[in-house]
Amino acid sequence: MSPPPRITITQVAAEAGVSTATAGRALGGYGYTSNEVAARVQAAARKLGYKPNMVARSLVTGRSQTIGVVAADIDNAFYARVLRGIGDVARSRGFGVILTNSDEKLEREKEAVQLLLEKRVDGLIITPCDVQGSEHLRSLIAGGCPTVQIDRAAYNLAADSVTVDNRGSARDAVAYLLKAGHKRIGIIAELEQLESGSLEDFVAQTAFSPVTPQTLYPSWQRLLGYLDAHRDAQIPVQTQLIRRVGSYSSEAARNEAVRLLESGHRPTAVFTADGTMSHGLMQAIADLKIKVPEHLSVLCFDDLDWMAFMQPAITSVHQPVHRIGSMAAELLLARIAGETSVPKHNVLEARLNIRDSVGPPP
């Protein structure tokens, strides 16, 4: 069956007894029409089942009523919840959302940004791949495209951001393990990119000179929190317990966790830097038939649904993921509406959800 013919604005104008230009103004929300005429045109549109041509409207108004989102990894549950927050706010304000994915690759991010610009989105919410600030994002902002960063903020990029206190939250989580008596705490994290030097150099540097967290990816910020907690408790840092996975892969995390748990430096507790790393750790624990918390205590950054249903339930750091998305959307819509204040960098607090996966050292 062929689709029914599309009702045109000319037909709506004829039904309402006005010119096509008047009908366009009444339905598009631009220019002036009297309340009586506008009501008549809208009644005619409802009667005929008229659906506006959004592309044509955007050419007239300069607005598409859509925002674009460039997520780092849409398979990650973190982004699913953030996107729900974005969508809830956007929908309440009459905006649609177009989602793209960068897979943490800079070239794909550039392609995604270009695609969204070609779709004439009114603004962008993005998880930047390069925290040093990519030139294409600087050009985007210089060109006047409203932009908000989530999860991480590129250093010195003149755009709003919504992030979490990664360093402080990780410090509190590892301090909780230390207070439980653990002195051999492993950490499994992506730690995917570092500007220069090795992991050992980074650990040594942080002991003697301050580090600017804003120049680091979230997993490195969480490693800083891990180091802070040890130094606050005057517990020596054992670099062999710090495992750098090098990619956002649960399989790679599982392999690294197996190597850690089968090594001669086996920890009594493990802290994971995000949900993907946590998934890999739990696979390794199952494969090695390790009992939690009798043989190994576990504490995970990111509070995913399955963690509450595990036996035992997993103690975790809960990020306000819906609020990250909703706040980012609110900031972006304010910029689209004409807000011109200096960029706002919002750092939200995370909380520790204490469950059953942490016990005393075996």
In our burial notation (b when 16+ CB lie closer than 10 A, e otherwise), range 333-342 reads bbbbeeeeee
- The secondary element (H helix, E strand) that includes residue 109 is helix 106-118
Q: What's the confidence (pLDDT) of residue 3?
A: 56
Q: What's the confidence (pLDDT) of residue 2?
A: 54
Task: Determine how β-strand 351-353 pairs with β-strand 315-318.
Answer: antiparallel
Q: What's the confidence (pLDDT) of residue 273?
A: 97
More reliable by pLDDT, 42 or 6: 42
Instruction: List pLDDT tens digits, range 28-56.
Output: 766 678 888 888 888 988 888 887 665 55
Structure tokens at 323: 């609020």
Q: What's the confidence (pLDDT) of residue 357?
A: 98
Q: What's the confidence (pLDDT) of residue 35?
A: 87
Q: What's the confidence (pLDDT) of residue 59?
A: 47
Residue 142 has pLDDT above 80, yes or no: yes
> Which single residue is written with the structure tokens 């949900």?
275
Which CATH entry fits the domain spanning 9-61: 3.90.1530.10, 1.10.10.10, 3.30.70.20, 1.10.260.40?
A: 1.10.260.40
Q: What is the mean pLDDT of residues 312-331?
A: 97
For the chain, give the mean pLDDT.
90
Lowest mean pLDDT among 28-42, 87-101, 130-144, 178-192: 28-42
Q: What's the confidence (pLDDT) of residue 6?
A: 75
Instruction: List pLDDT tens digits, range 234-279.
Output: 999 999 999 999 988 999 999 999 999 999 889 999 999 999 999 9
Residue 58 has pLDDT above 80, yes or no: no
Q: What is the mean pLDDT of residues 217-238?
A: 96
Q: What is the mean pLDDT of residues 152-169?
A: 93
Q: Yes or no: say if 19 and 13 are a contact pair by the CB < 8 Å rule.
A: yes
Rounded alpha-carbon distances, angstroms, from residue 214 to 152, 161, 204: 8, 11, 19
The class that CATH gives domain 66-164+321-348 is alpha beta
How many Å apart are CA 133 and CA 215, to the nearest integer? Answer: 9
Residue 85 has pLDDT above 80, yes or no: yes
The segment(s) of the chain belonging to CATH 1.10.260.40 are 9-61
- The secondary structure of residue 185, as a DSSP letter, is E
Q: What's the confidence (pLDDT) of residue 149?
A: 96
How is domain 166-318 classified at the architecture level of CATH? 3-Layer(aba) Sandwich (3.40)
The segment(s) of the chain belonging to CATH 3.40.50.2300 are 66-164+321-348, 166-318
Instruction: List pLDDT tens digits, range 295-320.
Output: 999 999 999 999 999 999 999 999 99
Instruction: List pLDDT tens digits, range 167-213.
Output: 999 999 999 999 999 999 999 999 987 766 788 888 988 888 787 77
Q: Is the dihedral of CA 168, 174, 177, 182 positive or negative?
A: negative
Q: What's the confidence (pLDDT) of residue 195?
A: 63
- Ranges of H-type helices in 187-217: 199-208
